[in-house]
Each structure stands twice: as C-alpha cells, then as structure tokens.
Chain A
Amino acid sequence: MLKKLLKHELKATSRYITPIFLILFLFTILNKIILGLDIFKGMFKGALKIIPGIAITGYVLSLIAIVVVTFVILVVRFYKNLTSEEGYLMFTLPVKSNQLVNSKLLIAMFWTVLSILAVILSLFLLFMNEFDPSLFFGSIREIWEGIPQASRGNAVLLAVEIIVTVILTLINSILQIYVSIAIGQLFNGHKLIGSFGAYIGINLVLQILFTIAVAVTGVVFHSFNDIRDITTLFFPILIVVFLVINGIYYGLTNYLLTNKLNLE
C-alpha cells in the first residue's frame, strides 16, 4: 500500500515541480551562453551591459526559487490533500493514517534533496568550464592525507554525524509543518490561520526551550576542549534531541489525524 501511495504522491507533485526544474535548467543554459558571450567576446558594451545583469539576477532568483517553490508546493500538497475535500478520498482508503503521512514525508524529502542537488549541478554547469576529474579528486585526496592518522577515524565519524544531522534537520523542518497543519485543522473554518499559529507557537516554544538548554549547558560545560568533544558530545546530543522532537511531531501528527480528524 505504501508503494502505491508513494507512486501516487510522486505523480501528483511532479506535475508542479518538474516544470520548475526545467525552468532552472533553461536559465542555466541561457546564462552560460550570455556569460560566455560577455566574458570571452565582450559582446555587451555600454547600455547593453544591462542584459547580462538581468540574466544573472534572473538566474540567482531561479536558484532561490527552485528550493523555495518546491517546499511551498510540498506544504500546499499536504494541506490540500489531507485537510480539504480530498481528505474524504484519502482517509477512506484502506490504509493507516501514518502510511499517508509517511508517503508524503518521503516524497517531500526526495524532492527537497533533489532541488538542492539541482542547484549544485546548475552552479557546476555554469562555472566549470573545464572540469578536470583528476584535479577534483586530487584535491580531495590532499585534504584526506592532511588529516593526522590518529584523527582519521574521528573525521569519518564527524562526516557521518554531519550527514545524519542534516537528514534529521530536513525531516524536522518537514514534520514541523505537518504537525502545525494537523493542529490547525482542528479549528473549524480557520484551518489556515490555525496552522500558521501552531507553527509560530511551536517555534516560540522551541526558542524558549533552546535558551534554557543553552543556559543550563553553559553552566555545566565551559567549552568544547577538543574535536573529540564535538563528535562524542555535541553531535550525539544534537542527534538525540532531533530524534526526540521528530518523534513527538510524528506521533502527534498521527494521533491528531487518526482521532481528531476534522474534515468539513
């Protein structure tokens, strides 16, 4: 069932997201051409200088847009598909509501990661005129060899921890939206405002908790003495905190959508 939900979720979201990727691609090509003409052939003189200016501005905007618009589309998707009339279709399917949430979370993560990769790829395409693989991997090897033997294991651990933290952060930002929407849908006729309110409210609570936590740990720990503290203390604590918060968001979302569903 989850597979079918994923397939359907992908179908529904790619309708809106794929064109955005295409636009980014077109802008990338356009800019590559214009930049090429400008830098190497000095084609744009005087008043025409405005053309590459516009092209670059448009390009930067599209870089920002692809990530922002993708995110907005995914948020709207969750809201519309589960709390508007489409909810009558989704919540009467022979699936558990956590499967509905899972499918949306996974596809949201998929598209978000893809949008960031698209931005990176676009920048590469634009600025790498001559891509020399040996140079690229050579510099990576140099960095690796620059790390003292003893700390190499730690460096790998650090890299893993960073990746895990990034993934958990991504999940966290998506789940915070979902739980806000799940709370917001409780308010008859004010679902949208309720969702925004819930999101802001959660942020406020987190801010307060974070400030308290920093104050507490500031007293207990003076500073991080060496790199080992970062990998054995800082990141693990951070990861656990994220896991707990994500778990709360996930559990609350499912509880509300199963027991307090408020379709109008």
Chain B
Amino acid sequence: MNTILECNSLTKRFSNVTALSNVSFTLERGRIIGLLGPNGSGKTTLIKLMNGLLVPDAGTLAIDGKKPGPETKRIVSYLPDKTYLPEWMRISDTIEFYQDFYEDFDANTAMDMLKRLQLDPSRRLKALSKGTKEKVQLILVMSRKADLYCLDEPIGGVDPAARDYILNTIITNYNENAAVLISTHLIADIERVLDDVIFIKEGQITLQSSVDDIRMKEGKSIDTLFREVFKC
C-alpha cells in the first residue's frame, strides 16, 4: 500500500480552543510533503497526534493502518522543534540510546555524518552550541530507516549554511519507501525540496496539492501563494 498515513475528520480541542477541526488527508510513501501554515495554525498539534503525544477528540489517524502507539513509533522518526536530548549525555551515548531502542537505526550512517561535521562523539551535549545540538538531533533522526519522518521546523532559527546542510541531509537520506513530512513557516528555503504541500490555517486544511501543479496552475512560487493565502 502506498499510503503511509491517513487521517479522517481529525479533531482536537484544548479547554475552549479547537486546535484542529475536521482534518482529513493522506501521506504517500516516497514523497516529501510540506505542512505549511503560520504559527498557531495547528501544525504542532497535528504532529503530536501523529506521534502519539496527544489523543484525538474525534476522527481517526492511522499510520500504516495502525493507531499511534508502540507499533507506529517503531516506524516513525520524529524531530521535535526543541532540544530534547538529555544534556548530560555524550554524543556517543545518544547513538547507543537510539541503537538500543530503534531496530531501524544505523549507527554507521550517524557516525559518518558526525565525522563529516567534525564532531567528536565523546563531547557532552551540554558543551555544544544550540545549532550543533540541533544538527546532532537531525543526524540521529535521519539515521533511522523509518517509514515516516516527521520534521517539525527543522530549519527555523539556523544560519544559511546549516540550512543547506539540513536540506542536503534530507535529500541524501531520501528513499522511495518513506514519506518525509516537513512542518515549517519558512517556505522559500524549502520549496525546491517538496513534492506536495498541505496548507493549514486555524486548524483546518485549506489546500493540498503537488508543488508542480501549483506552479503550473498559478504561475507563482509556493512562497508567493502562501503569502497571498495567509495575508494578515
């Protein structure tokens, strides 16, 4: 089956705020999909639901046909938009950790990437800069041979060289069996890498299309279209 994720009428409420309302879409294997929307549009809520960190109030979400749980966490590789690794660990400890818990983790890939960045695995995370920590996290997440990669704002707040590195890592780790979901509000830098886009506004999907279709139909870049759709 080519669909790796399917959600139907997904709804999530917090106190009196509806973060997601009737969200339905599918993600196909072998595609790189951009989840695009302004801050507070529900992107993070959607990603947390995909990773089993939140439970829906209504609707369904299935990854490879299963509800989010230990079975799906085995095949989903998640990169949150914050530094989530324990500070006391050395880089080598984090590799050992991922190796212990994820069967699909390839330590050699990770070590190669670290070597190319000239990062000494014996260094403690505490001693690294924020940007370097983020790169380590990206390396760990992309060194898994997962079926779905969820990257939450991978290029937010990094310098252009780091941005290139991150996009390069995403492209070179591409495989036709996996889908990559990139959630971001920085579209110009990332559109050349995307196959499809999903626009999300105030908890609802407003557009789902392939990038080429948009460029041909509208004759403009995704970034331009985004600015029009989400004008303040």
Residues of A within 8 A of B (CB): 1, 4, 7-8, 12, 15, 81, 85-89, 91-96, 258-259, 261, 263
**Would you list which residues of chain B between 33 and 63 have a CB under 8 Å from chain A?**
48, 51-55
Q: A4-B101, A95-B70 are in contact. Are A86 and B52 (CB under 8 A)?
A: no
B149 to chain A, nearest CB (A): 12
Q: How far is the CA of A189 from the CA of B70 in the complex (A)?
A: 28
A12-B86, A85-B82 given; 4 more Cβ-contact pairs under 8 Å: A4-B100, A7-B100, A261-B54, A263-B53
Return the chain B residue nearest A88 by Cβ.
B84
Q: What is the count of residue pairs linking A and B with beta-carbon distances less than 8 angstroms?
A: 53
Q: How far is the CA of A15 from the CA of B80 in the complex (A)?
A: 27
Interface: B78 (CB within 8 A): yes
Q: List 17 A-B contacts (CB under 8 A).
A: A1-B101, A7-B100, A8-B100, A86-B84, A87-B84, A88-B53, A88-B80, A89-B85, A91-B53, A92-B52, A94-B70, A94-B101, A94-B102, A95-B70, A95-B101, A258-B55, A261-B54
Interface: B163 (CB within 8 A): no
B102 to chain A, nearest CB (A): 7
Q: Per a CB cutoff under 8 Å, which of A7, A86, A91, A94 touches B86?
A: A86
Is the pair B54, A94 in contact by a Cβ cutoff of 8 Å?
no
Q: A4-B101, A86-B84, A89-B85 are in contact. Are A94 and B74 (CB under 8 A)?
A: yes
Q: Mark B85-114, 1 if CB is under 8 A from A, else 0.
A: 110100000000100111000000000000
Q: In the complex, what residues of B have CB within 8 A of residue A15's CB?
A: 88
A8 to chain B, nearest CB (A): 7
Q: Mark B178-190, 1 if CB is under 8 A from A, else 0.
A: 0000000000000
Return the chain B residue nearest A85 by Cβ.
B84
Q: In the complex, what residues of B have CB within 8 A of residue A95's CB?
A: 70, 73, 101
Q: How far is the CA of A12 from the CA of B55 in the complex (A)?
A: 29
Interface: B71 (CB within 8 A): yes
Return the chain B residue nearest A99 by Cβ.
B70
Q: In the complex, what residues of A have CB within 8 A of residue B102's CB?
A: 94
Interface: B83 (CB within 8 A): yes
B105 to chain A, nearest CB (A): 11
Q: In the complex, what residues of B have CB within 8 A of residue A92's CB?
A: 51-53, 73, 76, 78
Q: In the complex, what residues of B have CB within 8 A of residue A96's CB?
A: 69-70
Q: How far is the CA of A7 from the CA of B102 in the complex (A)?
A: 15
Q: In the complex, what residues of A have CB within 8 A of residue B71's CB?
A: 94
Q: A88-B82, A94-B102 are in contact. Are A261 and B74 (CB under 8 A)?
A: no
B85 to chain A, nearest CB (A): 6
Q: A86-B86, A94-B73 are in contact. Are A261 and B100 (CB under 8 A)?
A: no
Q: In the complex, what residues of A have CB within 8 A of residue B86's CB?
A: 12, 81, 86, 89
Q: In the complex, what residues of A have CB within 8 A of residue B85's CB?
A: 86, 89
Q: How far is the CA of A95 from the CA of B80 in the complex (A)?
A: 18
Is the pair A91, B82 in contact by a Cβ cutoff of 8 Å?
no
Q: In the complex, what residues of A have CB within 8 A of residue B88's CB?
A: 12, 15
Return the chain A residue nearest B54 by Cβ.
A261
Return the chain B residue nearest A95 by Cβ.
B70
Q: How far is the CA of A261 from the CA of B69 in the complex (A)?
A: 14
Report, nearest first, the 6 A-B pairs whose CB atoms are least far apart.
A88-B84, A94-B74, A94-B73, A88-B80, A94-B70, A85-B84
Q: How far is the CA of A86 from the CA of B84 in the complex (A)?
A: 5
B144 to chain A, nearest CB (A): 11
